[in-house]
Structure formats: C-alpha cells, structure tokens
Chains A and B, each alone.
Chain A
Amino acid sequence: MMLDIRGLQMSYGTEPVLENVDLEVKPGEFVSLIGPSGCGKSTLLRALMGLQKPSAGDVYLGLTRREIGLLFQDDALLPWRTARDNVALGLRIRGTAKAEARRTAMQWLDSVGLGQFGDRYPRELSGGQRKRVAIAQVLALRPKLLLMDEPFASLDAIVRHYLTEDLLDWVEKEHLTVLMVTHDLEEAVAVSDRVVLLGNGPRAHVKGRWEIDLPRPRDLLRVKEERQFAVTARALWDALSEEVRAPAARQRTETEAATP
C-alpha cells in the first residue's frame, strides 16, 4: 500500500471537519476524491503533507514525504524568480548545485513545452503556462506520489483539457501514483481508477467508492463515450447531489427546533 488512512479525524478547534475517514491508495493507482465544497477534501491533503496534524486516526505513508509531489489549486510560484529558477528551487532546496539544478530545470521546462520561457517571470506567463511551470517544479523532484488539489480549477476549458491530457501522459511516463481532490465529477470519472465520495461536513466521512476499470492510458474525449463512464458518472451524480442537498434539509430541521 502506498497510502493508507484509517479512522482519520481532522479538527479546526473542537469541531471535527473529517471524522472516521478510511482511504487507501495502491502503487500506480489514480484515485480521485470528490465531495461538496467545504467538506474537508483539502484538509485531508494537508494532513498527508504534514501541514496540519490529525486529531485522531492513523496515516500510513509507504514512502517518505520527499517522494510526494504536491500541486495546489493556485499556482504559488515565486514572483521574483524566473520560470527556470522556480523549477530549480526544489532541487536547490534538496542540495543540488546551482548550475546542475538550472540545467535540470531547463530540461523539465522543455518537457512541459516551455523551453523558450526559462527567463520569464511568472507575471509574464499565462495562467496555463504558470501551471506548467508548477508541474515542472514538482516533476523535477521525481516524486512517486502526486497529491493534487483541484489543480486546474482556475483555467478555462480548452487549456484545462490539454493540460489534463499532458498530465495523464506524465503520470504514465513517470509511473506516478495519484490522489486528486476535485469537485469536477466528470473529470474524476474520466481520469481515475477509483473515485471516492466524501460526504458533507462537519464530521464528513467516506460515503461511497466507485471503481472505474477502463484501461489506461485513456483518451480523455473517447472515454466519455464509454458505457461505464456514463453509468458511473450518473451514480456519482446522484450520490453527490444527495450530499449537496443534505445540509439544506438539516438546516431546516434546526431552524424549526430553535423556534418555540
């Protein structure tokens, strides 16, 4: 097992955001985590990265933290460093000599299609290009597990499509295991081996798991014509809308109870 979470509880103050969450990811798997907004999906990733401590439960990592790559929703590139130096930063932190780090960085920029843009500052790049720099920065560290938090949420549809396609290529090429947080249901079904649905917060826990045993690598457009895609997407849609509607119903009951 590359990643095994048992009975995880995460709290802000005394209120548990996540409660009794179980999740496992095998080497080579692509797993997506979906759920309503604010249910604690990102909090779970933060626990895995050691950015926030769980209040209960176990997190087993079959690798060291250095072997985990992380892609955030917002590209957090250093604005005062060029694309090349942003990519080199991770390598520099891990002790690679400057010249060597820059050479490797240029190779990675080249492989994400930005070989010409090494000297540009983030401000001089488009949203999609900045995302590619962020990807190069992560891949340059040769991670085994990639954690992603709505990596392409801020991009427009076409850019997003091609970036996702390229990302899938890199995942295959680098034999990456992936855990992706998203609220895009179709994207999750299209790219994943398994989709895990997290219920409503607070005290969110896993509400269901869907295996998508379509062969990989997949063609992002073709896969949507598959029968299994349609069936799984539909089932997920039903489960997710139930979760999204649930808090409204709960709130109604609370309001009624509060009125004497």
Chain B
Amino acid sequence: MKRETLWLQLRRAGALALVLLLWEGISALGWIDPFYAPPPSAIGGAIAELFVEGDIYEHLEATFGAALLGLFLGLIGGALLGFIAALLRPVAELLEPVMAMLNAIPRVILAPLFIIWLGIGIASKVALSFILVVVLTFFAVYNGIRDVDTRLVERVKTLGGGPLVLLREVYVPSVVAWVMGSLKVAVGFAFTGAVVGEFVASSRGLGYLLAFAQSTYNAALTFALIVLVLVFVMILFGLAGVLERYLLRWKYR
C-alpha cells in the first residue's frame, strides 16, 4: 500500500517534469512567445531572484500574517457563532439569514469596503480573510451541532451526565471534528482573502507584487508569484493534514 502511493507520487512527479521539459524545449525552439509564457527556467530564475535580493520576505510576511490571522479569527469566530446559534434559537433566527446571504455572494466584493473602512494596511486583508473563513466555519459548526448524534447525547444523559459533561464529551469533540473537516478549505479561503485584499489596494504582500507584475507585463514574475503562493498553500495544507490526523486520531488511526 505504502509502496504503491510512493510509486504513484513518483509517476506524478515524472509527468510534471516531462511537462516542464516540453515547455522549456518549445520555448527554446521559439514556438511560444516568452512574453506570454516564459520558460520554466526563467520562472525559476525569477523566484531565485526574489529570494536572493531578499525583498520577498516582507511581502511573504504581510500575506502570511494577514492570511493566518484571518484564518485563526475566522475559525474561532465561526465556531463560536455556530455554537451559540445552534444552542440558542433566537440567535439562530438572526444569524442564519445573514450568514446565508454572505454565503451566497462572492464575499471578495467586500474588499473595497474594508479598504475604505480599515485602510490599505494589514487590517483590511485580515478582515477579508476573516469574512471568507467565518461563514464557512459557521455553517460547518452550526449544521454539525444540529446533526449531533442524539444517541450519544442520550447515552451520556443516562449515564448521569449534565449539560457540562455533554458539552465536554459530546459537543466540543463533534465541533472539533467538523472544523477540522473544513480546515483545508478554510486555509485556501484565508489566502484568497489576503491576496485579493492586497490586489485591490496595498503597499506590501504577494498580492501587491502580483498587481505590480501584471501592471509591468512581467509574466515571469507573475508565474513566479503564482508558484510561490501554490507552494506555501500546499505546505499549509500539509500542516492542516497533520493537525487533522492528530486531533481526529480516533478516526484515522
């Protein structure tokens, strides 16, 4: 089984290498215009340059800071709101339509508003990340609690457990399971929020660099930045996966 997954990964890596090689070759033959699609070597060069010159670090820091803070606040806020709404009917009556509406619209349209309210600094990016993540988490937790296994609730009750025991033994573990289930999507959302926010108006961040690259028609830099975002989100996905397998070890072991 382990061997087979390794083999699969190897085949995938091989296929990717082949595509890059072909791309490089076609570029070298002059069949595609490097102005639109610079060869992988040029993109690699652009990435290397970013790190060698060292400018990239403050941008990475800005984007990561905004995305992670938005993710963290969004997860906590969504879980808390979902929890309260699931347990208190009047809160649900107020919150559910608002959340449903926010869920239906492309929430990135709020970016200009956040920039007017919070300025072009990190706060508006955190806000956009937050609003993307909080709605997702809210529904995961809200629906999750309402579907909590009633057999578990009754079991704990018949063993003599009160509301506190129910909370600790049934509701909180259930909520953790649902939040973990949407954690990877939330990571993606958080980065979308941060980068789009930077796109709209900022002085730092990968989104800012992307906007700069686009305005100067620098395709190599654009590709380089896309690759960077990809790599960092993949790393975070991996970390999210590790956390998920640890917290939900009762499911995965």
| Residues of A in contact with B (beta carbons under 8 Å apart) | 49, 51, 66, 70, 72, 74, 76-81, 89-90, 93-94, 121-124, 137, 141
A93-B161, A141-B159 are known contacts; what are 18 more A-B pairs with Cβ within 8 Å?
A49-B158, A51-B158, A66-B160, A76-B149, A78-B152, A78-B155, A78-B169, A78-B170, A78-B173, A79-B251, A80-B173, A89-B159, A89-B161, A90-B159, A93-B156, A121-B253, A122-B250, A123-B250
Interchain CB contact under 8 A, A93 and B253: no
Determine the interface band of chain B, counting residues with CB < 8 A from chain A.
Answer: 20 to 34
Q: Identify which of residues 125-155 in chain B touch chain A, using a CB-to-CB cut-off of 8 Å.
A: 149, 151-152, 154-155
Given contacts A121-B253, A123-B251, A124-B253, contact A76 B152 (CB under 8 A): yes
Interchain CB contact under 8 A, B253 and A51: no
Interchain CB contact under 8 A, B151 and A74: yes
Q: Does B100 contact A (CB under 8 A)?
A: no
Docked complex Cα distance between A90 and B158 (Å):
9
Interchain CB contact under 8 A, A76 and B160: no
Which 7 pairs between the two chains have the least Cβ-Cβ distance?
Answer: A76-B151, A76-B155, A90-B159, A121-B250, A80-B173, A80-B250, A93-B160
A65, closest chain B residue (CB): B160
Docked complex Cα distance between A51 and B170 (Å):
18
Q: Is the interface of A mostly helix, strand, loop or mixed?
A: loop
Given contacts A79-B251, A121-B253, A124-B253, contact A51 B154 (CB under 8 A): yes
Q: Is the interface of B mostly helix, strand, loop or mixed?
A: helix
Q: Does B157 contact A (CB under 8 A)?
A: yes
Q: Does B21 contact A (CB under 8 A)?
A: no
1/0 contact string of B102-116 vs chain A (CB within 8 Å): 000000000000000
Docked complex Cα distance between A49 and B156 (Å):
13
Residues of chain A with a CB closer than 8 A to B37's CB? none
Docked complex Cα distance between A187 and B170 (Å):
34
Residues of chain A with a CB closer than 8 A to B155's CB? 72, 76-78
Given contacts A79-B250, A80-B173, A80-B250, contact A94 B151 (CB under 8 A): no
Residues of chain B with a CB closer than 8 A to A94's CB? 160
Residues of chain B with a CB closer than 8 A to A76's CB? 149, 151-152, 154-155
Docked complex Cα distance between A78 and B169 (Å):
8
A179–chain B nearest beta-carbon distance, Å: 14
Residues of chain B with a CB closer than 8 A to A121's CB? 249-250, 253
Residues of chain A with a CB closer than 8 A to B161's CB? 89, 93
Docked complex Cα distance between A122 and B149 (Å):
15
B241–chain A nearest beta-carbon distance, Å: 18
Interchain CB contact under 8 A, A93 and B250: no
A118–chain B nearest beta-carbon distance, Å: 14
Interchain CB contact under 8 A, A89 and B169: yes
Residues of chain B with a CB closer than 8 A to A141's CB? 159
Residues of chain B with a CB closer than 8 A to A90's CB? 159-160
Residues of chain A with a CB closer than 8 A to B154's CB? 51, 72, 76
Q: Identify which of residues 218-253 in chain B touch chain A, using a CB-to-CB cut-off of 8 Å.
A: 248-251, 253
Q: Does B22 contact A (CB under 8 A)?
A: no
Docked complex Cα distance between A70 and B161 (Å):
14
Docked complex Cα distance between A80 and B173 (Å):
7
1/0 contact string of B149-187 vs chain A (CB within 8 Å): 101101111111100010001100100010000000000
Docked complex Cα distance between A78 and B251 (Å):
12
A17–chain B nearest beta-carbon distance, Å: 18
Residues of chain A with a CB closer than 8 A to B169's CB? 78, 81, 89
Given contacts A74-B151, A78-B152, A78-B169, contact A51 B157 (CB under 8 A): yes
Docked complex Cα distance between A94 and B250 (Å):
25
Residues of chain B with a CB closer than 8 A to A74's CB? 151
B170, closest chain A residue (CB): A78
Residues of chain B with a CB closer than 8 A to A79's CB? 250-251
Question: 19 interchain pairs (CB within 8 A)?
Answer: A51-B158, A66-B160, A76-B149, A76-B155, A78-B152, A78-B155, A78-B169, A80-B173, A80-B177, A80-B248, A80-B250, A93-B156, A93-B161, A93-B165, A94-B160, A121-B250, A121-B253, A123-B251, A124-B253
Docked complex Cα distance between A76 and B159 (Å):
11
Residues of chain A with a CB closer than 8 A to B158's CB? 49, 51, 70
Docked complex Cα distance between A49 and B158 (Å):
7
